[in-house]
Structure 1
Amino acid sequence: MRFLFRPPAAEATGLLSLPWSEPLAEWDPELLLEVPQRGISRHVVRFVASGGQVFALKEINERLARHEYRLLAEFEEEGLPTVSVLGICVDRPDDQEAILVTRYLEYSMSYRWLFSRPRGAHSADQLLDTMVELLVRLHLAGVFWGDCSLSNTLFRLDAGALTAYLVDAETVARHRTLSAGQRAYDVDLARERVGAELLDLQFGELLPEGIDPIAVADSLAPRYEALWNEVTHEEVFSSHEQNWRVAERLQRLNDLGFDVGEVELVTDGDGVRLRVETRVSEPGQHRRELFRLTGLEVQERQARRLLNDIRAFRAHLERTSGGTVPESFAAHRWLTEVYQLVVDAIPPDLAGRLAPAEVFHEVLEHRWFLSEQAQRDVGTAEAAGSYFRNVLPQTPKEVTTPSVIVGLAREG
């Protein structure tokens, strides 16, 4: 057998003792983990823990495994929203298929699990919009998916919204750019698959009443075209509008969650033409800013929400002190006096149900709700206590973080 792993290779050392020579379907259950929120796969997929991390193992044809390994590695380096690949095992005995190893996407959920949640059910429209955004990002990078579906997508909560990640790259083809026909074909394939998946949810009584699976699936193409046109269209305006129109367009792209690359202005007889290179990587402006100030690594929308709270906290410090407070000083005090107090107060039996930054976001939402009811600012501490008593316990007990999965596996 041969193993091929990407850096850091140390992650793979704990996996080498697994029974790679045996069919994955026959591995001892004692070696495996159950991941409640996993999706449906056409291949044999198993989960294992090593070094405090969780990995997904998929048995697949060697040619497809090598293809998917190479593409996922490229996507990760480019910052595309996909799962992270660790390695492959090939040349297994008795002509067995290869095994592709990817890292478990922390706090991720399948579409079926999202619809089965007893609280905070996400609408089909929200899932579709999130998946369309993922498809636009991939197409901007010249990626033809060929099998875009809800089953091949994982979702993560990000300050109440959702972020989508590509999971399965078997059918992916990479081009320098995609033609309009290629994009339309990919969208049409997605429409067919999404329609079938929503019908399956309806049959299993998981789809909320009043949702027409076919109508929702048919809306995928218009949603896609609207977003594609928004991030790629060329604008024409007069020269005296140049400054504010350029700023407006760039802000609009940032608000949609896309990064901006090269900006080109072309002057001709019709006025000024604005061409913007829309970057395909995950937006990172707010994440980088929050990390610089606090050292916290969170998702983009979460970072934006936390930065807003830091700004409000800084304004409070300046009002009470009567002077200017440096941003770095305010961020440090906010981290220790506000954020960390909430995170440390999460009851042990509720830890791991949501990412800490998502818990903090929901506490802020709950604070606003309670303040509206009481017609006064109830404060973060009071809101956190109420949230931990009345809201967080409603989140399913199924764990969503590798450290908790590993812990439960060891206890069992």
Structure 2
Amino acid sequence: MELQITATSPEHPADLLDLPWGVPLEEWPDKHLVALPRGISRHVVRFARAGDEVVAVKEVGEWAAVREYELLRDLDRLAVPAVDALAVVTGRRDAQGEPLEPVLITRHLDGSLPYRSMFETTMRPGTINRLLDALAVLLVRLHLSGFAWGDCSLSNTLFRRDAGEYAAYLVDAETGQLRPRLSHGQREYDLEIARVNISGELMDLEAGGSLHPSVDPVEFGTAIAERYCELWHELTRQSVYPLAKRHYIDRRIRRLNDLGFDVAEMQIQATPEGDAVTFLPKVVDAGHHQRQLLRLTGMDAEENQARSLLRDLETWMVSQDDYAPGDPLGARPEVLAHRWVRDVFRPAVRLVPRELRGSADIAQIYHELLEHRWLMSERAGHDVGLEATVEDYIRTVLRPGTEAGAGAAGVASGAGTGGSPEPGA
């Protein structure tokens, strides 16, 4: 059998031909290799340069290589975070004509690290929590796509930090299965494997002195299962929101925020009964909302203010006719954000008399208006709108003259620090 390269793109075979396929992967000369941190793998894995790209090369049986190649391509079509499959190379032989194992080639994920490299310096428990949250998000997304991983672990995951966000990527799909829909039992089985694997990997780090002394491996393994269940419930429960109850969307986003997640993407689909909303979660680092708001609007706000304003901005954006994420013909987020500042944010703030604002900046004023609107809408059972909110805010908070006004002022004071109570679902 002659050397055969099956690739996703016509330019890849030409770049790959220069690699020493007649040499066992363990013996590849340094001139072809790229020094990058590698995770633990049951197979031989090397990073190599192919043209302008860095690729990961894994020796594995032909059936397994082809199967994993196809699974990774399926996950790419489903827009699930996973490494990109580039090629499968079969028919390899050494200088004596003896057969060598086929290889699977994937694109190296820029900026990513295996978990062991991240734990070389002892990580703080809060950072470990965010990484495990990112893994919980990945597992939920896989299951929503009908993919049963079969071997969820830190070792089979790459982590990437980008502009304050944490994301986990599947790097090994060898044991996976793709189905139209997963049963509860299939998800529970995957989750139990994840719990056992992660606890064991953290114990291994603990034995090597690379785990923060306050971290209990068993508790953290259990915690990821709990986070998964909370997130799965919040994302999969079916809800349709009538136009008059748009504040219910805000309620769902607040629940995700309370779970420690932000909204990476929100879609609203009009139905005869109302608007059906779906969310895509993400894990963010401290200061992310400040940076995001500054990038989109030019406003420099405190973190809690920025999160509140971004929540309103994102809810408003998905209601616009030209909102189309991923569509080159749709309006860019920066364009929509500018329109929101011009048509929503500034008009609302201008309705509040300057002499009544005191020392509060405009971001704080708008944040308090949003909190006031939320409470009014919850009490009324429908979205009261910004104009009615501003009128009531001025009357009961900025010019309190009644017992009810004094109570509203207390709520606004709590809202300004992110401490306002959220009514039950």
Matched residue, 1:47:
47
| Structure 1 CA distance for aligned equivalents of residues 215 and 62 of structure 2 | 40
Deviations 1:342-362 (A, max 9, x none): xxxxxxxxxxxxxxxxxxxxx
Q: Give 1:310 shift.
A: 3.5
CA distance in 2, matches of 1:303, 1:108: 19
Name 1:14's counterpart in structure 2.
Answer: 15
* SS of structure 2 residue aligned to 1:178: coil
Q: How far apart are 1:82 and its partner, in Å?
A: 0.5
Query: Which residue does the alignment assign to 2:245?
Result: 242
Instruction: Look up the match of 1:106.
Output: 110
> Alpha carbons of 1:32 and 1:314: their partners in 2 closer, same or farther (altered >3 Å)?
same
Residues 301, 63 of structure 1: alpha-carbon distance in 2 compared, 3 angstrom cutoff: farther
> Any idea what SS the aligned residue of 1:150 has?
coil
Is the CA contact 2:5–2:88 (under 8 Å) kept in the aligned structure 1? yes
Residue matched to 2:7: 5
User: Following the alignment from structure 1 to structure 2, what is the Cα–Cα distance between the partners of residues 121 and 253?
Assistant: 21
State the secondary structure of the residue aligned to 2:64: helix
SS in 2 for 1:96: coil
Q: 1:200 aligns with which of 204, 215, 220?
A: 204
Closer/same/farther in 2, CA of residues 35 and 236 from structure 1, 3 Å limit: closer
1:89-108 Cα deviation digits (max 9, x unpaired) = 01223343210111110010
For 1:197, what is the secondary structure of its paired residue?
helix
- Asked if the contact 1:88/1:99 (under 8 Å) is kept, the reply is yes
Question: 1:174 aligned to 2:178?
Answer: yes
Q: In structure 1, list runs of 5 or more residues that go unmatched.
A: 284-298, 317-326, 332-412
How does 1:81-230 map onto structure 2 within 5 Å?
A: 81-93=81-93, 94-117=98-121, 123-230=127-234
| TM-score, normalised relative to structure 2 | 0.61
Equivalent position SS for 1:22 = coil
Q: Deviations over 1:192-242 (max 9, x none)?
A: 1101100000011000011110111122221110000010113488x6853
CA change 1:304–1:82 in 2 (3 A) is: farther
* Paired residues of 2:293 and 2:299 also in contact (CA < 8 A): no
Kindly provide the amino acid, as one letter, of the partner of residue 309 in structure 1: L
Cα 1:41/1:305, change in 2 over 3 Å: farther
Equivalent AA in structure 2 for residue 6 of structure 1: T
User: Take 1:206 and 1:234, find their aligned partners in 2: how far apart are those partners?
Assistant: 42
Q: 1-side partners of 2:131 and 2:299: how far apart?
A: 36
Equivalent position amino acid for 2:23 in 1: E
Q: Secondary structure at the match of 2:54?
A: strand
Contact 1:250-1:260 at 8 Å conserved across structures = no
Output the CA distance in 2 between the equivalents of 1:145 and 1:83: 14
Q: CA deviation at 1:306?
A: 5.1
Distance in 2 (alpha carbons) for counterparts of 1:108 and 1:133: 17
Q: How does 1:249-264 map to 2 (within 5 A)?
A: 249=252, 256-261=262-267, 263=269
What is the CA-CA distance between 1:162 and the residue it aligns to? 1.3
| Deviation of 1:17 (Å) | 1.7
Note the C-alpha offset of 1:161: 3.5
| Residue 47 of structure 1, CA deviation | 0.8
Instruction: Give the match for residue 69 of structure 1.
Output: 69
2:263 is paired with a residue of what secondary structure? Answer: coil
Q: Which residue of 2 aligns with 1:395?
A: none
Name which of structure 1's ranges 146-155 and 50-59 shifts more when overlaid on structure 2: 50-59
Quickly say closer, same or farther: Cα 1:23–1:107, change in 2 above 3 A. Answer: same
Q: CA separation in 2, counterparts of 1:300 and 1:205?
A: 25
* One-letter identity of the residue aligned with 1:206: S
In our comparison, the structure showing a higher alpha carbon Rg is 2
TM-aligned CA distance change 1:245 to 1:199, over 3 Å = same
Partners in 1 of 2:243 and 2:99 — Cα distance?
Answer: 69
Q: Secondary structure at the match of 1:81?
A: coil
Q: CA deviation at 1:313?
A: 3.7
Unpaired stretches in structure 2, ≥5 consecutive residues: 302-333, 339-425
Equivalents in 1 of 2:147, 2:286: separation in Å?
A: 25
Structure 1 residues 228 and 119 mapped into 2: Cα distance closer, same or farther (>3 Å)?
closer
Displacement of 1:253: 6.7
Judged with a 3 Å threshold, the aligned counterparts in structure 2 of structure 1 residues 73 and 18 are, in CA distance, closer, same or farther, namely same
CA distance in 2, matches of 1:125, 1:300: 11
The alignment partner of 1:49 has SS state of strand
Once the 2 structures are TM-superposed, how far is the Cα of residue 246 of structure 1 from its aligned partner? 4.2
Shift of 1:314: 7.2
Residue identity in the other structure for 2:128: A
Q: CA deviation at 1:118?
A: 6.8
Percent of counterpart pairs with the same letter? 38
Q: Which moved more, 1:150-159 or 1:239-248?
A: 239-248
Distance in 2 (CA, whole Å) between partners of 1:89 and 1:301 is 43
TM-aligned CA distance change 1:86 to 1:202, over 3 Å: same
Relative contact order, higher structure (CA 8 A, sep 6+): 1
Contact residue 25 and residue 44 of structure 2 kept, 8 A: yes
Please state how far the C-alpha of 1:51 moved relative to its aligned partner: 2.5
Assess, with a 3 A threshold, how the Cα gap between structure 1 residues 206 and 122 changes in structure 2: closer, same or farther: farther
Deviation for aligned residue 1:28: 1.8
CA distance in 2 between counterparts of 1:16 and 1:115 reads: 36
Q: Aligned partners of 1:122, 1:15: CA distance in 2, in Å?
A: 42
Deviations 1:92-131 (A, max 9, x none): 2334321011111001011111121378786332221110
21-30 or 84-93: bigger deviation: 21-30
Provide the secondary structure at the position in 1 that maps to 2:56.
strand
How high is the TM-score relative to the length of structure 1?
Answer: 0.63
SS at match of 1:116: coil
